[in-house]
């Protein structure tokens, strides 16, 4: 499904693609009374999160990278629903809506200012031309990968902590694929940043000559969303997933499956494993993109010689 970036932002952030997640949350009374159904939901969700993230590694279209990121994050929402923590799934859905809308609208500013070019391989060196869009995409990417104290951190890490605290095959399976998806997410998010803004330009001269930052009426929504991407998770975590919260008492849950308290008291090393996966993804992305540029320059030098 393709459309203009404002439509993509609406579809991927708040409507349509998250309808299935919302349906599972509303049908929690049916799912939570069937162990088999919960197991299927958790396994399918965890496989989806890793598979979509791995596909995102090889996309060269700016919007497709962000779109496959949505599929991966939906996998997180699904598998935590399969682990009977529907409020956490809804929390991640709300957090994801903020930074995913920011990413799509920022990508729209880049496409709009670069003569409708969407291929990452035909970009590069745009940080000076699109400074605001650069900062906005960087904030959205940091929130997406679960950088500590940004919006994605509070829900994404909570999901993975609950998975490992489950102490079952399904929980361990979901945790392993969730951490692997976190690694892939960090890799393709910073690959997008490097190829678009940091690396040497690889686009047409005519595109660079006409490239321009988005007008103020397109920038203001980005600034509002960037504030949400920074503080939304922190401000709403106790409202949605805080112990004793009465806001979501109408979500049925079998309290034999409730392990949110157990996940709070995991060892610090276990809690930091997703962060280590994320850092490894960022470092590997930086290393491989730089090596690619060095090899490309070396080959060009040989041809000119």
Tell me, what's the pLDDT at 300?
A: 36
CA–CA gap between residue 161 and residue 240 (Å, rounded): 16
Which residue is associated with the tokens 């930052």? 213
Q: Residue 29 corresponds to which tokens in the numbers above? A: 């009374």
* pLDDT tens-digit series, residues 226-264: 999 999 999 998 888 877 776 666 677 877 788 888 888
CA–CA gap between residue 152 and residue 218 (Å, rounded): 24
Domain span at residue 50 reads: 5-304
Handedness of CA 79, 84, 86, 91 (dihedral sign): negative
Tell me, what's the pLDDT at 29?
A: 87
Tell me, what's the pLDDT at 301?
A: 39
Query: What is the average pLDDT across 164-173?
Result: 92
The half-sphere exposure of 172 on its side-chain side, counting CA atoms within 13 A, is 3
Tell me, what's the pLDDT at 209?
A: 83
Q: How confident is the model at residue 1 (pLDDT cuts 50, 70, 90)?
A: low
pLDDT(294) > 60: no
Mean of per-residue pLDDT scores for the chain: 87
Q: How confident is the model at residue 291 (pLDDT cuts 50, 70, 90)?
A: low
Q: How confident is the model at residue 176 (pLDDT cuts 50, 70, 90)?
A: very high
The half-sphere exposure of 242 on its side-chain side, counting CA atoms within 13 A, is 11
Q: List the Cα angle 237/242/248 in 5-degree steps.
A: 95
Report the domain count for the chain. 1
Query: What is the average pLDDT across 128-149?
Result: 93
Q: Are 219 and 132 in contact (CB under 8 A)?
A: yes
pTM of the model: 0.91
Give me the DSSP letters along 101-169. Answer: HHHHHHHHHHHHHTTT--BGGG----TTTSHHHHHHHHHHHHHHTT-TTSHHHHHHHHHHHHHHHT-SH
- What whole-number percentage of the chain has pLDDT above 90? 55
Q: How confident is the model at residue 298 (pLDDT cuts 50, 70, 90)?
A: very low
**CB atoms closer than 10 angstroms to residue 120:** 20
Tell me, what's the pLDDT at 304?
A: 37
- What whole-number percentage of the chain has pLDDT above 70? 92
Query: What is the average pLDDT across 131-160?
Result: 93
Q: Are 88 and 167 in contact (CB under 8 A)?
A: no
CA–CA gap between residue 286 and residue 213 (Å, rounded): 26
* pLDDT tens-digit series, residues 54-97: 999 999 899 999 999 999 999 999 999 999 899 899 999 999 99
The half-sphere exposure of 73 on its side-chain side, counting CA atoms within 13 A, is 34
* pLDDT tens-digit series, residues 106-137: 999 999 888 888 888 888 888 888 999 999 99
Beta bridge partner(s), residue 119? 61
């Amino acid at each position: 499904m393709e459309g203009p970036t404002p439509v993509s932002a609406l579809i991927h952030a708040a409507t349509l693609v998250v309808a299935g997640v919302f349906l599972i949350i509303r049908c929690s009374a049916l799912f939570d009374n069937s162990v088999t159904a919960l197991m299927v939901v958790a396994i399918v969700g965890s496989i989806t999160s890793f598979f979509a993230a791995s596909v995102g590694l090889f996309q060269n279209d700016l919007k497709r990278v962000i779109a496959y990121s949505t599929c991966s994050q939906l996998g997180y929402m699904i598998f935590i629903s399969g682990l009977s923590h529907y409020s956490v799934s809804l929390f991640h859905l709300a957090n994801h809506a903020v930074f995913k809308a920011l990413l799509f609208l920022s990508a729209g500013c880049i496409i709009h200012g670069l003569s409708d070019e969407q291929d990452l391989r035909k970009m590069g060196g745009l940080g000076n031309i699109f400074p605001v869009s650069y900062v906005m995409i960087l904030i959205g990417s940091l929130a997406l990968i679960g950088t500590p104290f940004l919006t994605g951190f509070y829900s994404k890490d909570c999901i993975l902590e609950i998975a490992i605290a489950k102490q079952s095959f399904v929980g361990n399976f979901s945790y392993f694929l969730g951490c692997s998806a976190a690694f892939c997410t960090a890799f393709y998010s910073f690959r997008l940043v490097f190829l678009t803004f940091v690396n040497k330009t690889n686009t047409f001269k005519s595109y660079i000559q006409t490239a321009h930052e988005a007008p103020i009426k397109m920038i203001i929504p980005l600034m509002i969303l960037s504030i949400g991407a920074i503080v939304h998770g922190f401000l709403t975590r106790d409202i949605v997933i805080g112990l004793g919260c009465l806001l979501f008492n109408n979500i049925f849950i079998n309290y034999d499956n409730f392990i949110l308290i157990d996940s709070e008291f995991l060892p610090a090393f276990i809690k930091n494993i997703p962060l280590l996966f994320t850092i490894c993804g960022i470092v590997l992305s930086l290393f491989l993109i730089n090596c690619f540029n060095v090899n490309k320059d070396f080959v060009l030098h040989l041809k000119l010689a």
